[in-house]
Amino acid sequence: MTNSHCNDRLAWQREGLPFNAFGAALRRRFGGRIQRVSIDAGFTCPNVDGAVARGGCNFCDNRSFSPSRRVRLKRVGEQLDGGITSVRRRYKQVAGFLAYFQPATNTYAPVDQLEEVFQMALRWHPDIVGLAIGTRPDCIPESVVDLTRKLAQDHYVSLELGMQTMHQPGLDWMNRAHNHEHLVNAIDRCRGQGFECCVHIILGIPGETHAMMMQTADEVARLGFDAIKLHNLYAVQGTPLGEEVASGKIQLMQQDTYVATVVDFLQRIPPTTIVERISGDAPPKYLIGPQWCLEKSTLKLQIETEFKRRGTRQGSHYRPPTLLPENRPRPADNTPASIRSQIDVRGRLPVLKMESRIESGSGG
């Protein structure tokens, strides 16, 4: 396996792809298939524990999050082993793995604990080539930027920020409990620090017009993210959104509208931005709707076909901003004090107790 970083971010165009697909980008970088292994390290979320709000986002099944959840080092290792084994069963040739810290807010713990759990994941198996860390844009104080930069000196590291939309009514409807300024502040402090910055977007938020979604696309382009994940709004059981969809109060986007909107969106995104996802889904037994998002390969084919029909590709309609993102000054950190007090701590652990060490017996 090679670990050389391929700087040619336009290679996808020569390969005839309609967009800068993540799998192909990883193959170029690492010389083979790279798979993510999802990890639940036991973090909670400031939108659940009351630091900024309670209840969480309306689409998020956060019933298992609680302030008493612990960073579970032993469980992290077990999840990595299990995930690697199951991926190897499915694919004959895998060049490496990314430990993907996915549920909850994975930078919301004392920074010492964050470092311990991330370093442990990187050391756990020789084929782990990097980390993906999902978090909220208001949970990235300078201490987290410093830690992420340090981890990225020797490994691929992607910090995934939930933006969802740039529009406040949509953020309020989802009960995100942060505003767009937190996102702008976070990316302006994280950009160009040696790790990848990936943005999560949701298409089909009730009340958002096509024009509003295109404004979000232009804002993503302006902010200079390295990568993007696009999701259709989908509903799972046990969430406020799930109840509203099941009762018919909320209609979700139709499949053909979603396909056209994804293509419209990606046409406005810089060609250098890596596209990590083009749809979202959930295990069938939890999914309330839409059912069409379960057919991922059909959806992908429809999106590719729509690009072909139009004779366009990612970035066709992108217009670089007059002031490039890298030339904008780094702002002061605007992490809320209630969140900062839980993260910017070294030497004592006020939020989460670290579970007993890996070598010890049973853990909670």
The residue from 22, 26, 34, 56 that contacts ligand SF4 (CB under 6 A) is: 56
Q: How far is residue 66's CA from residue 116's CA, in Å, rounded to a whole number?
A: 21
Residue 133 as a binder of ligand SF4 (CB under 6 A): the answer is no
Under rule CB under 6 A, residue 109 binds ligand SF4: no
Query: Is the CB of 222 or the CB of 231 nearer to ligand SF4?
Result: 231
Q: Which is nearer to ligand SF4, 32 or 55 (CB)?
A: 55
Q: Does 62 bind ligand SF4 (CB under 6 A)?
A: yes
Q: What are phi and psi of 146, to 5 degrees?
A: -60, -45
Among 177, 238, 241, 178, smallest CA distance to 204 is for 241
283 token code pair: 């295990």
H helices then E strands: how many in the chain?
12, 9
Binding of residue 343 to ligand SF4 (CB under 6 A): no
| Binding-site member from 104, 171, 220, 236 for ligand SF4 (CB under 6 A) | 104
Site map 208..247 versus ligand SF4, x via CB under 6 A: ----------------------------------------
**CB closer to ligand SF4, 64 vs 360:** 64
Within a 13 Å sphere around the CA of 131, how many CA atoms are in the beta-carbon half? Answer: 30
Q: Is there binding between residue 47 and ligand SF4 (CB under 6 A)?
A: yes
Contact 159, 194 (CB under 8 A): no
In angstroms, give the least distance from the CB of 56 to ligand SF4. Answer: 3
Question: Residues 106, 135: contact at Cβ < 8 Å?
Answer: yes
Report the nearest approach of ligand SF4 to the CB of residue 10 (Å). 33
DSSP label of 31: S
Q: Which of 36, 70, 75, 136 touches ligand SF4 (CB under 6 A)?
A: 136
Q: Is 113 in the site for ligand SF4 (CB under 6 A)?
A: no
Q: Distance (Å, rounded) from C-alpha 300 to C-alpha 305? A: 9
Q: How do beta strands 274-277 and 227-232 pair?
A: parallel
Does the protein bind ligand SF4 through residue 41 (CB under 6 A)? no
- CA nearest 183: which of 321, 49, 331, 343? 331
Using CA atoms, how far residue 71 sits from 20, 43, 114, 292, 354, in Å, is 35, 6, 9, 36, 5
**275 forms bridges with which residues in the sheet?**
21, 228
* Span near ligand SF4 by CB under 6 A; candidates 42-50, 83-91, 309-317, 344-352: 42-50
Q: How many amino acids of this chain bind ligand SF4 (CB under 6 A)?
A: 11
Q: How far is the CB of 266 from ligand SF4 (least distance, A)?
A: 23
Which residues are near ligand SF4 by CB under 6 A?
45, 47-48, 56-57, 60, 62, 104-105, 136, 162
